[in-house]
Amino acid sequence: MVRGSNPLGPVKRKKMVQHILIPQHRKLDEHECDKILNKYNVARKQLPKIKVNDPAILELNTEKGDIIEIIRDSPTIGKSFFYRVVV
């Protein structure tokens, strides 16, 4: 047996985005990006960052510079929106 291998075969990973504790992530198109940047009067480089290899966004096919919208459930206001730029 090879060291570090699983004797039961390959481990199937559950999609991270389907976990109850992971909020919904979605990639914004250019029109939506411009709208958000104008609404909050910020530049892309001023947004908080998220790494391109973050497990929550791997399936979104992101590139550096893309903006990700994170939608979290909030007990007080229903849904809250957060924005991150991919680095």
Instruction: Report residue 63's pLDDT band, with 50, 70 and 90 as the boundaries.
Output: very high
Residue (of 41, 31, 27) closest to 83 by Cα position:
27
Query: Which residue shows structure tokens 């680095």?
Result: 87
First to last CA, the chain: 39
Which of 16-20, 23-27, 42-46, 74-78 shows the lowest mean pLDDT across its residues? 16-20
The overall pTM is greater than 0.95: no
Report the C-alpha gap between 33 and 30 in whole angstroms. Answer: 5
CATH class of 29-86: alpha beta
Domain range list for the chain: 29-86
| pLDDT greater than 60 at residue 72 | yes
In whole angstroms, give the CA distance from residue 14 to residue 66.
25
Note the pLDDT of residue 4. 56
Name the residue with higher pLDDT: 10 or 26: 26
What percent of the chain has a predicted confidence (pLDDT) above 90?
Answer: 64
